[in-house]
Amino acid sequence: MLIAHLSDPHLRPRGVLYQGLVDSNAMFEAALRQLEAMVPAPDLVLLTGDLVDEGGAADYAMAAELLGRIRQKLVVIPGNHDEREAFRACLGRNPFVAPSGPLHAAVGDAGAVRVLALDVTVPGRHHGEMDDAACLWLEARLAEEPERPTLIMMHQPPFESGIGCIDAYCCRQGQRLAAIVSRYPAVERILCGHIHRFMQLRFGGTLLVTAPSTTTAIALRLGAGAVPASFVEPPALLLHHWREGTGLVTHWVPIGSFPGPMPFF
C-alpha cells in the first residue's frame, strides 16, 4: 500500500501570490504532477492542513479546482490557516469530512493500513490542542481495531522542534496524545504538517514525522532568539510504503525534474 502525504500548500486565489512573493498554487500543481507521474500510483493521498492561506471563499475555490485533479481517495484535515466551516463547505462531498464539529475522520476501507485524521485545530488560534474531546475520539477509534496498522494524521505537531517561532504554535498537551498512543503498539506513524520541514522523532512509543510544505520552508534556525524567516527550498512530499513482513517505510520525495535516469546505482 502506497500513501502519498502532502502538507501546507497555502493556496491563494488565482493570480495571487503567497505572502505576495511565492506562487504557492503553481508549486502545488507541480506536486500534483509528481503524484500523477508516480508508478505505481499511490493508493491514498493525505494532506495535513493549511490547505489555503487566508480562509476566504476565493482561496477555497482555487483549492477545490486543484484537489479535483487527485484521482485517489483523499483525506484532508484543516490547519491553523484554514477556516473550519469554509473548509467543510469546500470538501463537503468528500466522504471523510464530518458534517459538524471537529473534522475528525476514520478511514478504514482504503487498504491494509487504517488512517485516523485528528483535527486538533482551535478555531481563530494558531496553536493546536489535545483537548478532552480529541482524546476521547482518538482512544475510541484506536480501541475499535487495536491490532490493525494505523496512521494518525494531525496538523500541529505535539512537540517543540527547537525553532522558537513555530514552537509557540505547536499542539498543546501533547503528553496526552503520547499516553494514548503508547497503549496501542499498532500505531505505525503520527503524521504532522505545520512546521514546513521534514522532522522525525520517537513519540509515544512510535515514530512521528512532519511533512515538508509544498511551498516554502521555515528556516532551520535553532539558536535562541533567532529571527523568523522562510526559504524557497526544494519542495517535497512524503511517501509511506506498507508491505507485509516489512512494515511501513517512509520516503522523502523531492518535487521537480532532475537529471537522470543514469545507467548506474
Q: What local confidence, expressed as pLDDT, does residue 111 receive?
A: 87
The three-class DSSP label of residue 60 is helix
**Looking at residue 69, what is its pLDDT?**
95
- The pTM (predicted TM-score) of the whole model is 0.96
Note the pLDDT of residue 171: 97
Q: CA-CA distance, 113 to 89, in Å (whole number)?
A: 28
Rounded to the nearest 5°, which phi and psi values hold at 66? Answer: -70, -40
Low-confidence ranges of the chain (pLDDT < 70): none
pLDDT on residue 93? 85
Nearest alpha carbon to residue 34 among 233, 261, 214, 231: 214
Burial bucket for residue 185 (CB in 10 Å: 0-12, 13-18, 19+): exposed
Q: How far apart are CA 148 and CA 155, in angstroms?
A: 23
Instruction: Give me the domains of the chain, ranges plus CATH numbers.
Output: 2-254 (3.60.21.10)
